[in-house]
A and B are shown apart, each in its own frame.
Chain A
Amino acid sequence: MDRMSERREGGGAGLDALFAEYRSAFPDVDGSANFMPGLWQKIEARRVETTSIFRHMVRACVMAAIALTLLIIVLLPRVRPEPIYSASTYVEVLDEAHSNDAADLLAGGEVQ
């Protein structure tokens, strides 16, 4: 990788000269009078675009929140669970749950 020797011999020097000529074929330029106004127009356009995207996102979020709220309002009464408390007393509930116990005993079992 001896670049120096490569440059000294063969086309290396010619290529370097060509690059130098290319450098002078493109001198530093100041740009036209429209450069700065054009730049600020682009900056403003990007700012508006970003704001508009942000606005769209906010609007979409608000719409989604409203839709979800309405859905909850509609569905909530339908999925309301049965109350876990009972109006009956403990004895009445037990009686209802084991109403056949006495009949079973009378049918097959002996009472000791």
Chain B
Amino acid sequence: MTDVTVKELAPADRGAGKRATGKVVFYATVIFMCVVLVLPVIAFFINAFAFRWFYPQLIPDEWSLQAWQRLGLLPPAGQFSIENLFAQWASVPDVVRALGLSLWIGFLVTGVSIVIGMPAARALGMYSFRGKRLIEFIIITPTIVPPIAFSLGLNINFIRWDLALEAAGINLGLSGSVLGVSIVHLVPVMPYVVLTLSGVFANYNADFEAQARTLGAGPFRTFWHVTFPAILPGLFVACLFAFLVSWSQYLLTFLIGQGRVITLPILLFSAAGSGNNAVIAALSLIFIAPAVLILLVSSRFLSGESGAVGGFGRV
């Protein structure tokens, strides 16, 4: 368990020039990221609370909450009271329903993908065996193959199985159901989970488990007291990936859900078609909120110091 620190040793005479170039590249990157990632979010904020926002106004003349009222999250204009707000929420607006469904599918997919992915990742990370490269390739194929290609085929199969099972008296309902959508979300999610966790296990020393066993811990307690704490940082990152990948699925939910499974992205896309910028912006804010929240909470796990790797290699 030795820590290897790699230090870049630049020749002294060329060091200064290199450092200046490095600074330029650094600031250029920061500015580019701001333009691409931060500015649109600022525009969302302005749009979501603007009454109208047209060229050449730099900021809107009039502000309003009309977008939030239209989404049913706030009572109609001029009728604001606490009772009305409660009544509005009690009727469960579509946005809230979609948000809840997106969260539920996200958590379900995350949990299942971790349970399925952990043994695979452990095998891939810790052992070498015949056909390992092939299996790794198969696991990452969902990130290469266009989702529409396999989801169309999958949908046809889902419908077939549903019909076949219905004929046998079992109503599983994969097509157009939350279950079917969750299963399909696993396809793009698994590569992230397996690759992240196999990185964790590549850095993991199973002798710690053997040690715990000889000290009197059974298999379950060994996992809980030894394995789990060791892989926790990497596990957290894998969950994060799984949740966010599921969270942002539009196409798969749309095709397999057949318009009956309304998650947040489905709502967002249909709103995008309607052309009301304020509503689109408000929905987008709701859509990115969990991602930003999770990132803020988890930033220490994602930093280079702890590494997404965890395991025992670095401790």
**Are A and B a genuine interacting pair, yes or no?**
no
Give me the interface of A with B, judged by CB distance under 8 Å.
Answer: none
Give me the interface of B with A, judged by CB distance under 8 Å.
Answer: none
